[in-house]
Chains A and B, each alone.
Chain A
Amino acid sequence: MAEWSSYSLSDLLLFSLQAYVGLFELLNTTLWPAHLIILVVGLGIGLFVLRPSDTKCRLVWGLLGLLWIWTGWYFFHVQYTVINWAAAYVAPVFWVQGLLFVLFAVAPRSPDIRFTRTATGRAAIVLYLFAVVGYPVATLALGRPLNSVEFVGISPDPGIVATLAILALSRGGFIWLAWIVPILWCVLTGLTLWMLDSPEFFIAPLAGVVAVAAVVAGGIWRHPT
């Protein structure tokens, strides 16, 4: 224990910002033009959320589950682990989170996704649109080369922001369980980018704060249906 306490956070960082950004360049090159399909699916989910039904809710949970399982496998297990062996330990966490969403999709009483014309609802929709459309623009504006910007479904951070937005609109028995990993990831990715001196370090943590603030303000956790 005494030995580990002598390490600073930056001592545990195995790679440079250049290598980290290079990882997204590789992902984008390899997976293009999947980005276009993901964009269409992402916007489609947004429409589902605006006019939800039980079937649409289940579909959204199922797609979110797939997103997390895919991210855990391709991003963490296949790609990120090449420069960060610790990513191999993160992948199962994403799989478990994905399975939780799949369970939401098939459970007899699936958590409800409900858009309301309230501050909470509007904040969640803005957050969702930011994740799907605004995130790559934001990373571009903060200095990322075009070929290495981050897209929902391709890299984890925008996907987690999209997840948080949907969770902010959701209510139901165990929905709180689904908040834990995305919030922890917002902290972890923020710390990682901060240690790498990346100007983007604040985006995911800020999205987490907005999502939590939206649900706290809306009192969703206090009045589950």
Chain B
Amino acid sequence: MLVNRRSVLKGSVAATFAGATAGLMPVSAMATPLARPIASTGEMLPLVGLGSWITFNVGNNQKLLDASSDVMAAFFESGGRVIDSSPMYGSAQATIGYGLKKLGMPEALFSADKVWTSSAGNGGPQIETSRSHWGVPRFDLVQVHNLVAWREHLELLQTMKANGDLKYIGITTSHGRRHADLEDIMTSQPVDFVQLTYNVEDREAEQRLLPLAKERGIAVIVNRPFQRGYLVDRLSSSPLPDWVAETGASSWAQFLLKFVISHPAVACAIPATSKVAHVRENLAAASGILPDAALRRRMVDYIGQL
């Protein structure tokens, strides 16, 4: 189910009015990206989130920390919710925590992190360390990163979920790795989310994983929608086709994001960026019209010709 922009706008205007009258949120928070429900609960997620791989790994450099929090501010002002990180991403979690604190811990936040350790016993302490970096009372979603020790960690996450220490559990892969294993897990384990790589060039997930996710009610988070910026860089020398204007896309980044989020199984794409203009552009891709099946085929064909 795709929520149309008008219904989201109605709810958002009401919420924003309530927030604005309480002096809590700027009027710019009226931005309303398209959203889809998480199948297991019906909770709505905007179709574009924010990744933190590389871009938020800025160490203790104050200037870069502040620049990252500016990106987060623009993200929330544009209606974003999902921020994704991992203990693998250097200082990204601490950067997110810095930004969240500076922004007064926005209520819209949907915190998605990962557990990434080959030791089953270290999973719990690592999640707690991650949580303290973010400064949140609990994570909305914790995913097993790249299927590392997934049996042990999924067991832990299920226990945490049952105890109310997190809302959702998931598992991730990237770069098209271990899709067969992921398929087995999606079939046999009670996960709410899977995260995988999907973009206009890396479409293997279309064959089995995305249909399976749809069938089993598993929300899909998409990483590497731009192949870490490579796709945007490569396409930037080519003209954006006129026919894509009907969707409202005005840049290659929006073209690429609209392709990803228009797949009905996709809950959210999580492009990472260190630029305020780019995060606004990314969120704007979750507005207007999403390509239908015919237009998606045309997009693939067009990219294939370039």
A residues with a Cβ closer than 8 A to B are 3, 6-7, 10-11, 13-16, 18-19, 22-23, 25-26, 79, 82-85
Cβ contact within 8 Å between B91 and A16: no
The winner among A3, A15, A18 for most chain B CB atoms within 10 A is A15
Contact of A16 among B54, B63, B88, B177 (CB under 8 A): B54
Which 7 A-B residue pairings sit nearest by Cβ, starting from the closest?
A22-B61, A82-B59, A83-B59, A83-B90, A15-B57, A14-B90, A19-B58
CA distance A85 to B57 in the complex (A): 11
CA distance A159 to B228 in the complex (A): 33
CA distance A6 to B228 in the complex (A): 16
CA distance A41 to B58 in the complex (A): 32
Cβ contact within 8 Å between B175 and A83: no
Residues of A within 8 A of B88 (CB): 14, 85
**Is B274 engaged at the interface, CB distance under 8 Å to the other chain?**
yes
27 residue pairs from A and B, CB less than 8 Å apart: A3-B178, A6-B177, A10-B228, A13-B54, A14-B89, A14-B90, A15-B57, A16-B54, A16-B57, A16-B274, A18-B64, A18-B274, A19-B57, A19-B61, A22-B58, A22-B59, A22-B64, A23-B59, A23-B61, A25-B63, A26-B61, A79-B60, A82-B60, A82-B90, A82-B91, A83-B90, A85-B90
Which residues in chain B, 53-77, are within 8 Å of chain A measured between CB atoms? 54-55, 57-61, 63-64
Residues of B within 8 A of A79 (CB): 59-60
B residues with a Cβ closer than 8 A to A are 54-55, 57-61, 63-64, 88-91, 175, 177-178, 228, 274
The winner among B54, B228, B274 for most chain A CB atoms within 10 A is B54
CA distance A98 to B55 in the complex (A): 34
Residues of B within 8 A of A85 (CB): 88, 90
Nearest Cβ in chain B — how far from A170, in angstroms?
36
Nearest Cβ in chain A — how far from B16, in angstroms?
34
Nearest Cβ in chain A — how far from B54, in angstroms?
6
For B64, the closest partner residue in chain A by CB is: A22
CA distance A148 to B295 in the complex (A): 48
Cβ contact within 8 Å between B57 and A25: no
Contact of B60 among A3, A14, A26 (CB under 8 A): A26
Cβ contact within 8 Å between A26 and B59: yes
Cβ contact within 8 Å between B90 and A84: yes
CA distance A6 to B55 in the complex (A): 23
CA distance A26 to B89 in the complex (A): 20
For A23, the closest partner residue in chain B by CB is: B59
Nearest Cβ in chain A — how far from B296, in angstroms?
27
Residues of B within 8 A of A26 (CB): 59-61
Task: Known contacts A82-B91, A83-B91, A85-B90; decide if A14 and B61 are in contact (CB<8 Å).
Answer: no
Residues of A within 8 A of B61 (CB): 19, 22-23, 25-26
Nearest Cβ in chain A — how far from B287, in angstroms?
28
Cβ contact within 8 Å between B54 and A14: yes
For A26, the closest partner residue in chain B by CB is: B61
CA distance A3 to B148 in the complex (A): 12
Task: Known contacts A6-B175, A6-B177, A82-B90; decide if A15 and B60 are in contact (CB<8 Å).
Answer: no
Residues of A within 8 A of B63 (CB): 22, 25
Residues of A within 8 A of B59 (CB): 15, 19, 22-23, 26, 79, 82-83
Task: Known contacts A6-B177, A22-B63, A22-B64; decide if A83 and B274 are in contact (CB<8 Å).
Answer: no
CA distance A10 to B230 in the complex (A): 12
Cβ contact within 8 Å between A11 and B57: no
Residues of A within 8 A of B58 (CB): 15, 18-19, 22, 83
Residues of A within 8 A of B91 (CB): 82-83
Residues of A within 8 A of B57 (CB): 14-16, 19, 83
For A87, the closest partner residue in chain B by CB is: B90
For B176, the closest partner residue in chain A by CB is: A6
Residues of B within 8 A of A83 (CB): 57-59, 90-91
Residues of A within 8 A of B60 (CB): 26, 79, 82
Nearest Cβ in chain A — how far from B51, in angstroms?
13
CA distance A36 to B114 in the complex (A): 44
For B58, the closest partner residue in chain A by CB is: A19
For A7, the closest partner residue in chain B by CB is: B175
Residues of B within 8 A of A15 (CB): 54, 57-59, 90
Nearest Cβ in chain B — how far from A145, in angstroms?
11
CA distance A82 to B54 in the complex (A): 12
Cβ contact within 8 Å between B64 and A19: yes
The winner among B57, B177, B178 for most chain A CB atoms within 10 A is B57
For A86, the closest partner residue in chain B by CB is: B90
Residues of A within 8 A of B89 (CB): 14
